[in-house]
A and B are shown apart, each in its own frame.
Chain A
């Protein structure tokens, strides 16, 4: 089987997965003990309003027809609307408002994790069993074991106190640009990036810096687990490639140290890192609930959490579907990267 056939098969396999995953969500929402109507009405329950909502949501239909309706709407991207936390607002509008903050957060947490975790791991792998290796490895393990929400609380406190602790020498809030520690990032400058940049490059850059600084602590926390993973895997991968025969051969035929590290070790050591990097999607989605709660960033995780505790079941179903699409999409991306990076993929069956 060629690599592309293998890849195509993986893509086809993901269709039933999306269907099945969405079905599980439907079953939870509709067959679970929580009645969506009383959840929507809450304390203001009265029979007429309940009947009205029941009709609007189609809850009077037989279950199978509700199911097909639910699936059909989601798969044709008629995403419905919120009923409790922002009544009448369509899910599209909500996602448009909330998603950019989460994407911004996710972008930086992937980036920070990559640019700290992998170099540290490779450094540790290239200098195995030295003091710096032990410090880096142990630090990575402990860093990874810290619960995100707790780390976030500690970081918020530490950053808010930097002024007092250093006697005003270094204050996070006023460092470079003035920001608060606990705040959603101001992403207004992304509305029309090119126009905005051309009109006022200095101001645009300033707001870019500001938004980055606002998100940096949260991104550092959210990337912590991935950073630790990338470090560990990076270290092992480098150790394995260093001791492999082809590196030995390359060294024997006189390849220079720099070329050996970059061409022969680095590239091959990247392969096992691919699933770790794509696997971050899970950590980012799950972690966003906690990190966004602590840092008061009203993004998708925060939206989901609030929709859940307020019983906004229609919105939850939609969000779940989006999350499943993101996760399945990342898995497909992972297989795609594999087929590109590693020529051996697909030949093993």
Chain B
């Protein structure tokens, strides 16, 4: 497909000949984008703002801020502003919530809308692929179709996919999913005020969020506990209850999902790039290059991963790298340095196989540079093997990060992290405040199970005979 021949009609023309399926698809897409336009533009502007920030002198800072302000006016479907749940009881009705529903119901509505929207978008993308395959693709069949079809027959893998998507949606829509915001409830609780209905005086009072938090912590017995799916004394709804310091657990959990998934995917991505490049180099040049990498990777693999992580986090504890994103950047770097040998190992064999193929010789004799040969003729072949290994290792990274945070070494406050939440509630597991430790642990188990199932599905779909996928990789070095 990549080679352009004389007879090939460009995609644009193929669409023009039979526009109806494409138009229907585009129309649905327009609606889906339209209802979220404000949020999408905000993300774009925020990314623009980061880039502008990098330019010395901040020439466009004012512009970015004014743009962000004006964008807040655009109504978006999946947002706290459109379906607000933070209101108060004034004695006869709820004020400030969506349609006057109780905060819990309003939150539930938003939760459902978020997931419905996310799955609608994914369904739309899938529908687009099917339309392309049916109406516009030149080839009736490509090898990738078999992969897709095999995955469609893999129930276990699909189960994993659904779980994985659920957690990715949680991470992406974290700000809209929480019953309250990070800013208000966790980062600056003393900068915000809330209204609440005071039972004794039967009037609406105001309180700082920080004070309200102190009054609604979960520390075991009776009064000092806000259980999952209940309201605290200040009329705030907590889907997962509160943490020991009274901050909303659900908000922390969804932002914890964000950081866990970010670390896992970015670290795996970097490790994958290193592993893939080295696999290309060793398979192309062989000999000494291979020996050197074998030695380096064997040595790194001989180090106990968790111990190295602990050691490096301690060594870098007072440096600026440690403070970037509350330690996430450093953790990502360490994981990529420690994991690339495993990835390289898993694709070294296939890379060697492909380097012996005739088409590589042909490409060389055509005068293509080594870089071109590796990129165009070798890498695509081994990429799927890397995907298998990487998808099976993601769960292990999530567990390791949680474990390190549990020990107090990983992600530091204020960024919420599942492992730290577990440590927070450790001593209350046997008390009414069992939710603090239990829920994050169950979620980790769930997401890791989902990722492993998804990885199994990918493996069976890409290569039913594959023997790759180190079992130990999926378990996070014992954390």
Contact = CB atoms under 8 A, between A and B. Distances in A.
Interface of A: 13-14, 16-18, 20-21, 23-25, 28-29, 32-34, 141-142, 144-151, 153-154, 157, 160-161, 222, 225, 228-229, 232-233, 276, 279, 282-290, 293, 304-305, 308-309, 311, 316, 319-320, 323-324, 327-328, 331
Contacts of B429: 153-154, 157
A17 B300 CA distance: 8
Given A24-B303, A283-B472, A316 B478 contact: no
Interface stretch (B12-20, B109-117, B242-250, B311-319): B311-319
B230 to A, nearest CB: 22
Contact of B478 (A222, A293, A324): A222
- Which residue of A148, A276, A286, A316 has the most chain B CB atoms within 10 A of its CB atom? A286
Contacts of A288: 478
Interface in B374-395: 395
B444 interface: yes
Nearest to A233: B471
A146 B476 CA distance: 10
Contacts of A150: 402, 406, 422, 437, 440-441, 444-445
B67 interface: no
A294 to B, nearest CB: 8
A290 B472 contact: no
B437 A153 contact: yes
Interface in B423-445: 426, 429-430, 437-438, 440-441, 444-445
Contacts of A319: 307
B444 A147 contact: yes
Contact of B302 (A233, A304, A327): A327
- Which residue of A150, A154, A225, A283 has the most chain B CB atoms within 10 A of its CB atom? A150
B77 interface: no
Contact of B295 (A20, A229, A282, A293): A20
Interface string B460-479: 00000000001110111111
B426 A153 contact: yes
14 contacts: A16-B299, A21-B300, A33-B316, A144-B475, A145-B452, A151-B441, A153-B429, A157-B430, A225-B472, A279-B471, A279-B472, A286-B306, A320-B311, A327-B304
Contacts of B63: none
B127 interface: no
B453 interface: yes
A153 B314 contact: no
A167 B444 CA distance: 32
A33 to B, nearest CB: 5
Contact of A28 (B315, B430, B437, B470): B315
Contacts of A309: 314, 408-409
Interface in B293-341: 295-296, 298-300, 302-308, 310-312, 314-319
B254 interface: no
Given A32-B316, A282-B304, A16 B295 contact: yes
Contacts of A146: 441, 444-445, 448
A145 B295 contact: no
Nearest to B444: A147
A-B complex: 6 closest residue pairs judged by Cβ atoms: A287-B478, A286-B306, A286-B478, A20-B299, A150-B441, A32-B315
